[in-house]
């Protein structure tokens, strides 16, 4: 680590700057494993995309050397595309199965993903929110951050008390995710079902990761700009237990 964990000067956030993404992922994995050893029935909030992938790989490596039964742990995915076949490789159900459920030994019945293919999307969103509440909430939520500051698929303008719901995806988000659809933005869904910012803030602990210079501006706005709907991630400064894990490039715009 290039610096110790520090309390953010203006908020209760703890900001850690690691040498690289793999080092930051190891910190996150250690935090997750500590929780799961203490509470085998813990509920994790799991994100998808390139940012959290090193965390799941670090967890898998640790479990190979020090096995831990995770069959009673729960996981709730942050979001899912609307209208996508859950069997498609780009669906977040498929990604969670491949990166979390199978390699880490979760019971698939205890891994929930929003139902973006439901005939009644509003009812499915409400049911997903109720399912999180029914088990007492998420113990530790893993997050990435979009170039425009989104967390989950909560785009700029999302209310900070928003619940799980269907949202329209910003063109910037669709362009960024086109790489998962062979570079074809026309194949990227225009809507998603996402945990709301209010849902995310109900988690007992939150760990946000950001890597690369492309995320530096969004990180700086979230941590040092106004707490405002224009910067969804800035809402994290209202939470009592948030750790931000960055590589040097993602931290480069912080004052």
Burial class (CB in 10 A: 0-12, 13-18, 19+), 124: buried
- Strand duo 6-7 + 43-46: pairing: unpaired
Determine the pLDDT at residue 246: 98
Could you give the dihedral angle defined by the CA atoms of residues 210, 215, 221 and 223, in that order, rounded to the nearest 10 degrees?
20
- Bridge pairing between strands 111-112 and 140-143: unpaired
**pTM of the shown model:** 0.93
Q: Round to whole Å and give the CA distance between 97 and 218.
A: 29
Q: Helix, strand, or coil here: 110?
A: helix
pLDDT 10s per residue in the chain (255 long)?
444 344 444 456 899 999 999 999 999 999 999 999 999 999 999 999 999 999 999 999 999 999 999 999 999 999 999 999 999 999 999 999 999 999 999 999 999 999 999 999 999 999 999 999 999 999 999 999 999 999 999 999 999 999 999 999 999 999 999 999 999 999 999 999 999 999 999 999 999 999 999 999 999 999 999 999 999 999 999 999 999 999 999 999 999
In angstroms, the CA 107 to CA 120 distance is: 26
């Amino acid at each position: 680590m290039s610096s110790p964990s520090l309390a953010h000067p203006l908020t209760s956030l703890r900001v850690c700057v690691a040498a690289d993404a793999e080092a930051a992922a190891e910190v996150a994995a250690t935090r997750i494993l500590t929780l799961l050893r203490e509470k085998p029935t813990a509920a994790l909030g799991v994100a998808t995309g390139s940012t959290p992938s090193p965390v799941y790989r670090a967890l898998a490596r640790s479990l190979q050397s020090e096995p831990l039964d995770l069959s009673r742990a729960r996981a709730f995915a942050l979001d899912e595309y609307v209208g996508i076949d859950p069997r498609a490789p780009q669906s977040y159900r498929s990604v969670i199965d491949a990166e979390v459920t199978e390699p880490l030994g979760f019971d698939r019945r205890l891994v929930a993903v929003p139902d973006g293919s439901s005939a009644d999307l509003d009812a499915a969103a409400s049911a997903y929110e109720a399912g999180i509440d029914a088990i007492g909430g998420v113990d530790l939520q893993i997050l990435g951050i979009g170039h425009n500051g989104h967390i989950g698929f909560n785009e700029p303008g999302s209310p900070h008390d928003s619940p799980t719901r269907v949202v329209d995806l910003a063109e910037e988000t669709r362009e960024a995710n086109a790489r998962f659809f062979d570079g074809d933005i026309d194949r990227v869904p225009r809507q998603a079902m996402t945990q709301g910012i209010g849902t995310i803030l109900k988690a007992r602990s939150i760990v946000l990761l950001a890597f690369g210079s492309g995320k530096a501006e969004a990180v700086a706005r979230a941590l040092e700009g106004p707490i405002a709907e224009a910067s969804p991630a800035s809402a994290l400064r209202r939470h009592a237990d948030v750790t931000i894990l960055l590589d040097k490039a993602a931290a480069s715009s912080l004052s």
